Amino acid sequence: MELIVDRISKQYQNKIAVDRISLTFTKGIYGLLGSNGAGKTTFMRMLCGVLRSDSGTITMDGMDVTTEEYRSWLGYLPQDFGYYPEFTGMDFLLYMAVLKGMTKPQARRRAKELLELVALTETARKKIKTYSGGMKQRLGIAQALLTRPRLLVLDEPTAGLDPKERARFRNMIQELGKESIVLLSTHIVSDIEHIADKIIMMEDGRLIYQGIWEDDMDLEEFYLGTVNG
Protein backbone atom coordinates (compact mmCIF):
# COMPACT_ATOMS: atom_id res chain seq x y z
CA MET A 1 0.00 0.00 0.00
CA GLU A 2 1.59 3.26 -1.12
CA LEU A 3 0.24 6.79 -1.53
CA ILE A 4 2.49 9.00 -3.65
CA VAL A 5 2.14 12.78 -3.66
CA ASP A 6 4.32 14.25 -6.39
CA ARG A 7 4.96 18.02 -6.48
CA ILE A 8 1.38 19.16 -5.89
CA SER A 9 0.58 22.88 -5.72
CA LYS A 10 -2.51 25.00 -5.19
CA GLN A 11 -2.87 28.76 -5.52
CA TYR A 12 -5.78 31.04 -4.62
CA GLN A 13 -5.44 34.37 -6.41
CA ASN A 14 -2.18 35.78 -4.97
CA LYS A 15 -1.73 33.21 -2.19
CA ILE A 16 0.08 29.91 -2.68
CA ALA A 17 -1.73 27.55 -0.32
CA VAL A 18 0.34 24.45 -1.14
CA ASP A 19 3.75 24.81 -2.73
CA ARG A 20 5.16 21.81 -4.65
CA ILE A 21 4.83 19.22 -1.91
CA SER A 22 6.07 15.67 -2.48
CA LEU A 23 5.53 12.87 0.04
CA THR A 24 5.23 9.08 0.11
CA PHE A 25 2.91 7.37 2.60
CA THR A 26 2.76 3.70 3.59
CA LYS A 27 0.83 2.01 6.41
CA GLY A 28 0.99 3.92 9.67
CA ILE A 29 -0.04 7.12 11.40
CA TYR A 30 1.16 10.49 10.13
CA GLY A 31 0.74 13.58 12.25
CA LEU A 32 0.34 16.80 10.26
CA LEU A 33 1.22 19.96 12.15
CA GLY A 34 1.02 23.59 11.13
CA SER A 35 -0.38 26.91 12.25
CA ASN A 36 -3.66 28.32 10.91
CA GLY A 37 -3.14 29.19 7.25
CA ALA A 38 -0.21 26.78 6.85
CA GLY A 39 -2.04 24.91 4.07
CA LYS A 40 -2.94 21.72 5.95
CA THR A 41 -6.65 21.69 5.08
CA THR A 42 -6.01 22.50 1.41
CA PHE A 43 -3.43 19.72 1.26
CA MET A 44 -5.82 17.18 2.76
CA ARG A 45 -8.72 18.25 0.55
CA MET A 46 -6.51 17.59 -2.47
CA LEU A 47 -5.60 14.14 -1.11
CA CYS A 48 -9.34 13.43 -0.87
CA GLY A 49 -10.14 14.68 -4.37
CA VAL A 50 -12.33 17.49 -3.02
CA LEU A 51 -9.94 20.02 -4.57
CA ARG A 52 -7.95 19.59 -7.75
CA SER A 53 -4.30 20.50 -7.56
CA ASP A 54 -3.01 23.11 -10.01
CA SER A 55 -0.05 20.88 -10.76
CA GLY A 56 1.45 17.57 -9.68
CA THR A 57 -0.14 14.15 -9.15
CA ILE A 58 -1.64 12.05 -6.34
CA THR A 59 -1.82 8.27 -6.76
CA MET A 60 -2.45 5.29 -4.50
CA ASP A 61 -1.15 1.95 -5.69
CA GLY A 62 -1.10 3.45 -9.17
CA MET A 63 -4.69 4.76 -9.04
CA ASP A 64 -5.14 8.50 -9.61
CA VAL A 65 -7.02 10.58 -7.03
CA THR A 66 -9.78 11.24 -9.58
CA THR A 67 -10.70 7.56 -10.03
CA GLU A 68 -13.62 5.73 -8.43
CA GLU A 69 -11.30 3.05 -7.09
CA TYR A 70 -9.17 5.63 -5.23
CA ARG A 71 -12.32 7.14 -3.69
CA SER A 72 -13.52 3.70 -2.59
CA TRP A 73 -10.36 3.37 -0.49
CA LEU A 74 -10.86 6.73 1.22
CA GLY A 75 -12.32 7.78 4.56
CA TYR A 76 -12.46 11.52 5.25
CA LEU A 77 -13.47 13.66 8.22
CA PRO A 78 -13.36 17.36 7.30
CA GLN A 79 -13.19 20.06 9.94
CA ASP A 80 -16.88 20.84 9.51
CA PHE A 81 -18.64 17.74 8.24
CA GLY A 82 -22.22 18.09 7.04
CA TYR A 83 -25.03 16.32 8.86
CA TYR A 84 -28.82 16.42 8.90
CA PRO A 85 -30.05 17.67 12.31
CA GLU A 86 -33.38 15.80 12.06
CA PHE A 87 -31.64 12.48 11.37
CA THR A 88 -30.80 10.17 14.23
CA GLY A 89 -27.21 9.00 14.56
CA MET A 90 -28.19 5.60 13.15
CA ASP A 91 -30.15 7.14 10.26
CA PHE A 92 -27.17 9.31 9.32
CA LEU A 93 -24.75 6.38 9.19
CA LEU A 94 -27.21 4.26 7.21
CA TYR A 95 -27.70 7.11 4.74
CA MET A 96 -23.95 7.64 4.31
CA ALA A 97 -23.38 3.89 3.95
CA VAL A 98 -25.92 3.62 1.11
CA LEU A 99 -24.26 6.59 -0.63
CA LYS A 100 -21.00 4.63 -0.43
CA GLY A 101 -22.62 1.67 -2.18
CA MET A 102 -23.27 -0.65 0.76
CA THR A 103 -26.35 -2.88 0.84
CA LYS A 104 -28.90 -2.25 3.58
CA PRO A 105 -27.91 -5.33 5.63
CA GLN A 106 -24.22 -4.40 5.30
CA ALA A 107 -24.98 -0.80 6.22
CA ARG A 108 -26.98 -1.72 9.33
CA ARG A 109 -24.36 -4.19 10.55
CA ARG A 110 -21.48 -1.74 10.03
CA ALA A 111 -23.39 1.19 11.55
CA LYS A 112 -24.03 -0.80 14.74
CA GLU A 113 -20.34 -1.74 14.96
CA LEU A 114 -19.22 1.85 14.56
CA LEU A 115 -21.75 3.35 16.96
CA GLU A 116 -20.42 0.96 19.58
CA LEU A 117 -16.83 1.82 18.67
CA VAL A 118 -17.41 5.57 19.19
CA ALA A 119 -19.63 5.05 22.26
CA LEU A 120 -22.87 6.30 20.70
CA THR A 121 -24.95 3.13 20.95
CA GLU A 122 -27.19 4.52 23.68
CA THR A 123 -27.94 7.68 21.71
CA ALA A 124 -28.16 6.05 18.26
CA ARG A 125 -31.93 6.73 18.05
CA LYS A 126 -31.70 10.35 19.18
CA LYS A 127 -31.69 13.21 16.67
CA ILE A 128 -28.32 14.70 15.85
CA LYS A 129 -29.57 18.18 16.77
CA THR A 130 -29.64 17.00 20.39
CA TYR A 131 -26.00 15.81 20.30
CA SER A 132 -23.21 17.69 22.01
CA GLY A 133 -20.26 18.91 19.98
CA GLY A 134 -18.19 15.93 21.08
CA MET A 135 -20.94 13.48 20.13
CA LYS A 136 -21.23 15.02 16.67
CA GLN A 137 -17.48 14.72 16.24
CA ARG A 138 -17.59 11.05 17.23
CA LEU A 139 -20.37 10.50 14.70
CA GLY A 140 -18.17 12.15 12.07
CA ILE A 141 -15.34 9.78 12.92
CA ALA A 142 -17.76 6.84 12.57
CA GLN A 143 -18.88 7.91 9.07
CA ALA A 144 -15.24 8.22 7.99
CA LEU A 145 -14.72 4.57 8.95
CA LEU A 146 -17.77 3.10 7.21
CA THR A 147 -15.94 1.41 4.34
CA ARG A 148 -12.89 0.29 6.36
CA PRO A 149 -10.73 2.78 4.45
CA ARG A 150 -7.18 2.08 3.35
CA LEU A 151 -6.56 5.84 3.49
CA LEU A 152 -8.08 7.75 6.42
CA VAL A 153 -7.77 11.56 6.42
CA LEU A 154 -8.81 13.37 9.60
CA ASP A 155 -8.85 17.17 9.85
CA GLU A 156 -8.87 18.31 13.51
CA PRO A 157 -10.74 15.15 14.61
CA THR A 158 -10.43 15.79 18.35
CA ALA A 159 -12.07 19.23 18.27
CA GLY A 160 -14.84 19.24 20.87
CA LEU A 161 -13.74 16.01 22.54
CA ASP A 162 -13.10 15.92 26.28
CA PRO A 163 -9.87 14.34 27.64
CA LYS A 164 -11.49 10.92 28.12
CA GLU A 165 -12.87 10.94 24.57
CA ARG A 166 -9.51 12.05 23.20
CA ALA A 167 -7.79 9.12 24.92
CA ARG A 168 -10.38 6.71 23.43
CA PHE A 169 -9.85 8.26 20.01
CA ARG A 170 -6.07 7.87 20.21
CA ASN A 171 -6.42 4.18 21.09
CA MET A 172 -8.74 3.66 18.13
CA ILE A 173 -6.36 5.42 15.72
CA GLN A 174 -3.43 3.31 16.89
CA GLU A 175 -5.34 0.19 15.86
CA LEU A 176 -6.36 1.65 12.50
CA GLY A 177 -2.78 2.62 11.72
CA LYS A 178 -1.75 -1.05 11.73
CA GLU A 179 -3.70 -1.71 8.53
CA SER A 180 -4.22 1.70 6.91
CA ILE A 181 -2.59 4.99 6.07
CA VAL A 182 -3.87 7.50 8.62
CA LEU A 183 -3.21 11.24 8.17
CA LEU A 184 -4.19 13.24 11.23
CA SER A 185 -4.06 17.03 11.22
CA THR A 186 -4.21 18.93 14.47
CA HIS A 187 -2.90 21.97 16.27
CA ILE A 188 -2.97 20.01 19.56
CA VAL A 189 0.51 18.50 19.69
CA SER A 190 -0.33 16.11 22.53
CA ASP A 191 -2.94 14.39 20.31
CA ILE A 192 -0.26 12.96 18.05
CA GLU A 193 3.04 12.93 19.91
CA HIS A 194 2.52 9.44 21.31
CA ILE A 195 0.65 7.78 18.44
CA ALA A 196 2.20 9.17 15.24
CA ASP A 197 4.79 7.04 13.47
CA LYS A 198 5.93 10.03 11.42
CA ILE A 199 5.58 13.78 11.73
CA ILE A 200 4.91 16.20 8.85
CA MET A 201 5.12 19.96 9.35
CA MET A 202 3.83 22.68 7.04
CA GLU A 203 4.18 26.43 7.10
CA ASP A 204 3.12 28.97 4.44
CA GLY A 205 2.13 26.14 2.11
CA ARG A 206 5.56 24.52 2.23
CA LEU A 207 6.75 21.25 3.70
CA ILE A 208 9.25 22.26 6.39
CA TYR A 209 9.84 18.91 8.09
CA GLN A 210 9.14 15.22 7.73
CA GLY A 211 10.60 12.58 9.96
CA ILE A 212 10.14 9.64 12.28
CA TRP A 213 8.75 10.29 15.72
CA GLU A 214 11.36 9.73 18.43
CA ASP A 215 10.20 8.97 21.97
CA ASP A 216 12.60 11.45 23.50
CA MET A 217 11.47 14.35 21.28
CA ASP A 218 9.67 17.28 22.86
CA LEU A 219 7.44 17.67 19.83
CA GLU A 220 5.88 20.99 20.76
CA GLU A 221 9.26 22.58 21.41
CA PHE A 222 10.65 21.08 18.20
CA TYR A 223 7.67 22.29 16.18
CA LEU A 224 7.87 25.84 17.52
CA GLY A 225 11.60 25.89 16.92
CA THR A 226 11.17 24.69 13.34
CA VAL A 227 8.46 27.24 12.54
CA ASN A 228 10.27 30.13 14.18
CA GLY A 229 13.77 29.14 13.18
Region 202-210: mean pLDDT is 92
pLDDT over 70 percentage in the chain: 93
> pLDDT digit string (tens) for 130-168?
998 888 988 998 999 999 999 999 998 887 778 888 888
20 shares its domain with 94: no
Question: What pTM was computed for the model?
Answer: 0.87
Q: Are residues 137 and 154 in the same domain?
A: no
In a domain, 193, yes or no: yes
| 182-187 mean pLDDT | 88
141 vs 24, 69, 158, 204, 215, CA distance in Å?
Answer: 24, 21, 9, 28, 27
Residues 31 and 117 placed together within one structural domain of the fold: no
The 10s digit of each residue's pLDDT in 113-134 is 999 988 899 999 999 999 988 8
Give me the mean pLDDT over the 63-79 stretch. 92
**Among residues 26, 29, 71, which one has the least CA distance to residue 157?**
29
Residues 27 and 5 in one domain: yes
Residues 40 and 82 sit within 8 Å (Cβ to Cβ): no
Cβ-contact 196, 29 below 8 angstroms:
yes
Q: Closest Cα partner for 210 from 81, 31, 52, 76?
A: 31
89 in the same domain as 66? no
pLDDT of residue 146: 93
Question: Does pLDDT of 175 surpass 70?
Answer: yes
List the domain range (segments joined by +) for residue 100. 83-148
What residues does 209 pair with on adjacent strands?
201
Q: Which of 100, 130, 148 is the last residue of a domain?
A: 148
Identify residue 39 by its one-letter amino acid code.
G
Last residue of a domain, one of 123, 148, 173: 148
